[in-house]
Amino acid sequence: MGHIVLRLDRIMVERGRSLNWLADQVGITNVNLSKIKNNRVSAIRFSALAAICAALDCQPGDILEYVDGISGDADDANSK
């Protein structure tokens, strides 16, 4: 069974944006945003996802990635 991986870190690098900047834009604490960025959450509110997408000018699919299998290694999905 697959799982969803958050790729917020990648989008932030592509956009040249810092964690502090994004936290200020979306109204999420640095601690909670860091958990999202480092894929240490099991859920994310749609309102938070929408705010992040608006701030970074991206789509949810740019941040969320489905990884097939149970290895837990999201990089495997990129090598297919």
| pLDDT band at residue 74 under the 50/70/90 scheme | very low
What's the pLDDT band for 78 if we cut at 50, 70, 90? very low
pLDDT surpasses 60 at 71 = no
Could you tell me the pTM of the whole model?
0.82
Q: What is the CATH number of the domain that holds 39?
A: 1.10.260.40
The residue range of the domain holding 55 is: 3-78
Total of domains in the chain: 1
Determine phi and psi for 25, rounding to 5 degrees. -70, -40
Distance CA 20, CA 75 (A): 26
